[in-house]
Chain A
Amino acid sequence: MKRPLHMVLHSTAVAVLTTGLMVVPVQSAFGHAVVTESSLSKEPVKASHATKVVLFFNSNVELSLSKVFWVSEGDVYHPADIARGKKPGELHIKLPPLESGDYAIKYKVFAADGHLTESTIRFHVAP
């Protein structure tokens, strides 16, 4: 149950910001994106199995303005399919069956404050 103070503050905020609706239509919005959790730390990628890597960002990301690559040894880039997960900020990345070795996921995501966040997650595929 929401606390009364929060409800008052929330209602006031909504009322004031409603005036802004004249100017900016409300849509799904997002903020500066940082990965706060990754499935790679819990479920290592197995060799020769297609894998879905799940990343949790601290905000939603705009899929159409984002790109994700999986990178193999020698820094060869391969585009990866991405999809939005059920939870806010959840991003699914499809990896094809990979041979054992070192890899990286390189993501470039667009966040609500207009900042383009670019980063790398390195991982190992065990035999």
Chain B
Amino acid sequence: MYMQGLANFIDDFLGGLILICYALVVGSVLWRAVILRRRADHPVADQAILRSTIGILRSGSIALAALQGTKLVIKGMVLWGVLGELPMADYIGTVQFQAGLARFVLALGIAWLSGRLLLEPENRSLWIWLGALCLPMVVAGAWLVHAVGRFEHREPLMLLTILHQFAAAVWFGGVAQLVALWRLGNTEESARKFWPFAVVRFGILGIGSVALLLLTGLPLAITYVDSWSGLFGTGYGSLLITKVLLLVIALGFAFMNHLAGRRWRISGESGDIKRKVPYFIEAEAFILVGILFVAATLSSQPPSEDIAGNPELTATIPEVVEMFTPRIPRITSPSHEDLIAGEAGRVAVVKKIPSVAAKEWSDYNHNISGMFLTVMGIIAMLSYVQSPGFRWANYWPLGFVGLSIFLFFRSDAETWPLGPIGFWESTFKNGEVFQHRIATTLAMVLGILEVRARTGISSQRMKYMFPILCAFGGILLLTHAHAEFELKTEYLIQSTHVTMGLLAVMMAAGRWLELRLEPVDGTLQNTAFLSTGRIAGLLAILSMFLIGNIMMYYLEPLV
């Protein structure tokens, strides 16, 4: 079980990274073919722009090869660990291994070709070869998705899934290229000139990729979810809802960029396209990264269709609502002795006895953590009041430091420092403990960095660590494993954690935008009260407040 938790987590995490790298590769090739194509009345993408494009393509392909290779090795190690042996011939014979190996080799080939392209960026035949290698890499993905295991409609579902992946890759890869082009504009005049043209051209490509995403995503969703109970009562369904919500936010950013591009095209007004669009695109990238991780996590969930009719595997809508219903938080904890006494029964295979103490221990941890975040959220909102009397409120991130100390002692009572299982053993043999340890460290670092940023003593670069770490925390929550629970219980817990993950990604995007659009010093001084940056910052704080509320009312199912 513990190994499965760790394996699922690594699978989902690597899966998300692989999707990102895949998108960088595929999106960059399309970027070159469509956005950088020569047009008579447009400025030409010169060698600097081409090299920047190829640089991303090359980095993406090298990382893709490395991650895909790592995944194959880790999977073998996990199999070895769980089965006690590794039948190598059987493992190599699996479709998973062969498709993964194919993608690994093709990614290496693309990396080599892009290295050549860096020397000859305009060599047409090299680009054609590169496109030719990308095609089987995209198709190989068909053997790495859910659809390959279906008994019915297998091939159509495989095709729809790779088209869906392709569309997402074009979108994310293009957004990454836009971010790189804007940064290149700091040093290259040609990039500055090309920027508005690229935004407008990408708007058209983006609409096409979104249309393809929806056209392929809808039949996939209908097939895999099949019912309302499947949508609201299973892990697969809840992740799909999260993915759709993130998609709507990303589309919102894309729409604003599109409008700015249109204004520029019609009137030549370039204010927003240079002042706001670059930062909206960065925030969009945060959201898209979240979507790709959700997509990777989806692939580790059984499709709702397969379990929706089984009351032991799916939750009812009232049961899900109950998880989010406000109630008086638990502020007393069972003793450590009571908790340990119930552990033997809780983890027994044959005569499993649910532990009330373990449930209450977890409720207490979540509820107190929620109170930390809720209070921090309220104080953070006060910090936006433009009065010297509220300067003290800028120290609200110190609550993260307190939270991390609390989590360190309370997260996993059966492990060090309170329990008998050693630090290293628990950290690296249990996926859930591993994630808790990361979250604890993350909270501590977040607190220190953000206090420095909010009080104006942080360096310019370090300020951006908070939204980056927030996004990482959100991704952890989106891929959070509770493998020792049964499927229904796992889902009920997941429903809250996924919602918090969604809010954490929104928090990251909001704070990032605030820092980018309020370039004073990040401390909210001398800015208009309802500027775009402030609204984004307040939305980030509201997201944290909502995360606090969800945790404050969290009630773990008794199993």
Contact = CB atoms under 8 A, between A and B. Distances in A.
Contact of A30 (B135, B149, B486): B149
B interface, over-half SS? helix
Nearest to A108: B82
A65 to B, nearest CB: 6
Contacts of B102: 23-24
A17 B144 CA distance: 13
Given A24-B99, A32-B302, A115 B8 contact: yes
Interface in A43-64: 58-60, 62, 64
B264 to A, nearest CB: 38
A108 B96 contact: no
Task: Give chain A's interface residue range (CB within 8 Å of chain B).
Answer: 35 or more
A112 interface: yes
A10 B99 contact: no
B454 to A, nearest CB: 42
A111 B139 contact: no
Given A24-B140, A58-B302, A71-B349, A10 B155 contact: yes
B11 A20 contact: no
B151 A88 contact: yes
B301 interface: yes
A67 B86 CA distance: 12
Interface stretch (B87-95, B111-119, B471-479): B87-95
Nearest to B86: A65
A23 B350 contact: no
Contacts of A9: 156
Contacts of B135: 19
Interface stretch (B305-313, B331-339, B460-468): B305-313
A1 interface: no
Contacts of B91: 65
B143 A118 contact: no
Given A24-B99, A27-B95, A58 B136 contact: no
A9 B215 CA distance: 14
B102 to A, nearest CB: 4
B229 interface: no
Contacts of B96: 112-114
A107 to B, nearest CB: 11
Interface in B262-289: none
B205 to A, nearest CB: 22
Interface in A1-51: 6, 9-10, 12-14, 16-17, 19-20, 22-27, 29-34, 36
B220 interface: no
A65 B351 contact: no
Contact of A13 (B8, B155, B351): B155
Contacts of A111: 149
Top 10 A-B pairs, shortest CB-CB distance:
A31-B149, A59-B149, A58-B306, A20-B139, A13-B159, A64-B90, A13-B155, A112-B149, A34-B302, A114-B96
22 contacts: A10-B153, A13-B159, A16-B159, A17-B155, A19-B136, A24-B140, A31-B147, A32-B301, A33-B302, A58-B149, A58-B302, A58-B307, A64-B87, A64-B90, A66-B83, A67-B84, A74-B350, A102-B350, A112-B94, A115-B300, A116-B3, A116-B4
Given A17-B159, A115-B11, 16 more contacts: A6-B153, A17-B139, A20-B136, A24-B102, A31-B147, A32-B301, A36-B306, A58-B302, A62-B94, A65-B79, A75-B350, A88-B151, A89-B151, A102-B350, A113-B96, A116-B79
Interface of A: 6, 9-10, 12-14, 16-17, 19-20, 22-27, 29-34, 36, 58-60, 62, 64-67, 71-75, 88-89, 102-104, 106, 108, 110-120, 122
